[in-house]
């Protein structure tokens, strides 16, 4: 499975890449939604893990564009927010899971792979 992860934090992109590599998963990280959309158009992507703040758009905008792209993939949001209304909005958008960056996010993310 090939996974794309998007986040405006270079540190968090690197941590996600190392974590996924430990699980034997091939991945690439991007800081902006346009690069994610281009990659989805060029490769078979099984999952997109996205933060909600990207260099060129919000995570919600990226999620909408991914859904309109016609490609089928799992979308997981990773956020620092614990707002129940935001989590519910993401679920209503078709996001499989919303995981908070703090605490045991690795264990929660591991459940999906």
CATH of residue 93: 3.40.50.2300
pTM, entire model: 0.92
Structurally, the chain folds into a number of domains equal to: 1
- Nearest one of 71, 66, 69, 26 to 50, comparing CA atoms: 66
Mean of per-residue pLDDT scores for the chain:
91
Q: How confident is the model at residue 65 (pLDDT cuts 50, 70, 90)?
A: very high
Domain encompassing residue 97: 2-110
Q: How confident is the model at residue 106 (pLDDT cuts 50, 70, 90)?
A: confident
């Amino acid at each position: 499975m090939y996974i794309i992860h998007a986040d405006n934090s270079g540190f968090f992109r690197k941590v996600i890449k190392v974590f996924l590599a430990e699980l034997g998963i091939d991945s690439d990280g991007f800081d902006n939604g346009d690069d994610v959309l281009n990659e989805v158009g060029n490769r078979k992507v099984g999952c997109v893990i996205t933060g909600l703040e990207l260099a060129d758009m919000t995570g919600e905008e990226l999620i909408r564009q991914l859904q309109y792209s016609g490609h089928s993939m799992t979308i997981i949001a990773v956020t620092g927010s614990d707002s129940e209304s935001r989590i519910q909005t993401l679920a209503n958008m078709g996001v499989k899971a919303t995981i908070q960056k703090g605490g045991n996010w690795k264990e929660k993310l591991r459940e999906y792979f």
